[in-house]
Structure 1
């Protein structure tokens, strides 16, 4: 059994700040030109390339290591500025880690400057379809016009009008959701330094209506961001659109860096 070096992140913070963030993990740092790679030694039985490909198929193994990776990084949030590395970033030796720091020194230092004093928050939205349909049906002139025509129609004509109304209502609901969510997300973005809105999703993994985006917020302005989020949450909740804010997280979506 051999050993390799697992790197969690890179920072420029003093060692004593890194020390106070330790969990039950034997971390240490490797320093080069003011950059510190926060690392630990791990077994090649776990992370050598061929072994790793087998191990990730083991859900217990994967969950254990992925959770540790996240918990180590989460312990740094709000304490130190750092560039989070992807899960299972390993090097054959400390020499290779130092070579990586040397190669990417300027890029890392530049990104660390941009992340100083920042926090990442995630915002998700989901739709209560029935609630939104009910709300849209009361405010849409086109839908209300159909309701009036239905009330005055014969049974045969009413059948076809109902089908047409359902199609129009579905379109109106989607349009309502997209319009109000885009407006809300853009408003929240005005209280953040960066965001992932260009790539935000309009549906969740199950195909349901939804949207998610991440925001990089100044630590000194987080209360303002969260206050504005709560205001939007209350307004949209009445319409059947439910918002959830999570974080602060390690800046996974704003590191803009890869050792590959």
Structure 2
């Protein structure tokens, strides 16, 4: 199949086989491209889909974007099971293998430093949501007999809401501090918009933690014990993932195909 070279990740050589059923973008199983002791995990994609103008249109097509992201992530997940990958940006494409090697050569030192830092480590995600039901008063307010009563009831409801959020944020800070003690590094991400994430309730913690594989079971157990500890709060654990939040790659241009992405950043 002729086309552009799609790059999923950079990693060190590994012997273990990826899952046989893993296919990448466009249904093409991932392969390996070696250069100076590093491996680029690559596939081949249709130029008519990934050249600059076509890609720009596709990125506005949520169905296409979702399918491409799932295929990309499936390869990264398979790699994470057998090695420490350095994931590259979705739709990182180059004209040919020479372009991929030129990118690897230009960024070799950065790739090696990052792989050394992340070796044997994975990312775990922890989110805390305050359930929408928890924001409602436990007892329905009585019909106000006067304007004074109405204002008093409003103040009481407002205080109850404030106390609930303060309690949720206090719990989130306490859990985050405890998890930081079990992780080598942590990142606090912006709270998710519930309308976009389709998660119910308010997101009060959205964090990522860098954890050695050998400590992952203990880390996950710590999060599991926190579930149900605070009424009205939902604790969610995801992972283990490739260490997206800790890759720290700079974004710069590569030998891209006619201006297509060609950026080995996150």
TM-score range, shorter chain: 0.7 to 0.9
1:129-172 Cα shifts (integer Å, max 9, x gaps): 4446679x9xxxxxxxxxxxxxxxx9775443222212222221
Distance 1:259 1:35 in 2: 19
Report what 1:177 is aligned to: 168
**After superposition, where does 1:1-260 map in structure 2 within 5 Å?**
3-14=3-14, 16-17=15-16, 19-21=17-19, 23-24=22-23, 25-131=28-134, 157-197=148-188, 199-201=189-191, 204-206=193-195, 208-210=201-203, 211-236=205-230, 239-260=231-252
Q: 2:168 is paired with a residue of what secondary structure? A: helix
- Gaps of at least 5 residues in structure 2 are 140-144, 253-266
More helix, by proportion: 1
Aligned-pair distance for 1:234? 2.8
Determine if contact 2:86/2:243 at 8 Å carries over to the other structure.
yes
Distance 2:150 2:2 in 1: 74
Q: 1:80 is paired with a residue of what secondary structure? A: coil
Report what 2:255 is aligned to: none
Query: Structure 2 vs 1, CA of residues 55 and 134 (structure 1 numbering), >3 Å: closer, same or farther?
Result: closer
Determine if contact 1:128/1:240 at 8 Å carries over to the other structure.
yes
Distance 1:229 1:27 in 2: 34
Aligned-pair distance for 1:191? 0.9
* TM-score normalized with structure 1 length: 0.82
* TM-score normalized with structure 2 length: 0.80
Distance 1:243 1:26 in 2: 36
Matched length: 238
Report what 2:256 is aligned to: none
Query: Structure 2 vs 1, CA of residues 93 and 241 (structure 1 numbering), >3 Å: closer, same or farther?
Result: same
Query: Structure 2 vs 1, CA of residues 119 and 134 (structure 1 numbering), >3 Å: closer, same or farther?
Result: farther
Determine if contact 2:84/2:242 at 8 Å carries over to the other structure.
no
Report what 2:261 is aligned to: none
Q: 1:88 is paired with a residue of what secondary structure? A: coil
Computing the radius of gyration from Cα coordinates, the structure with the larger value is 1
Determine if contact 2:18/2:78 at 8 Å carries over to the other structure.
no
- Gaps of at least 5 residues in structure 1 are 138-153
Distance 2:148 2:59 in 1: 60
Distance 2:195 2:59 in 1: 24
Aligned-pair distance for 1:21? 4.1
1:69-96 Cα shifts (integer Å, max 9, x gaps): 1101111123111100111000112111
Query: Structure 2 vs 1, CA of residues 63 and 158 (structure 1 numbering), >3 Å: closer, same or farther?
Result: closer
Query: Structure 2 vs 1, CA of residues 161 and 59 (structure 1 numbering), >3 Å: closer, same or farther?
Result: closer
Distance 1:132 1:259 in 2: 42
Computed over aligned residues only, the root mean square deviation of the Cα atoms, in angstroms, reads 2.5
Query: Structure 2 vs 1, CA of residues 100 and 66 (structure 1 numbering), >3 Å: closer, same or farther?
Result: same
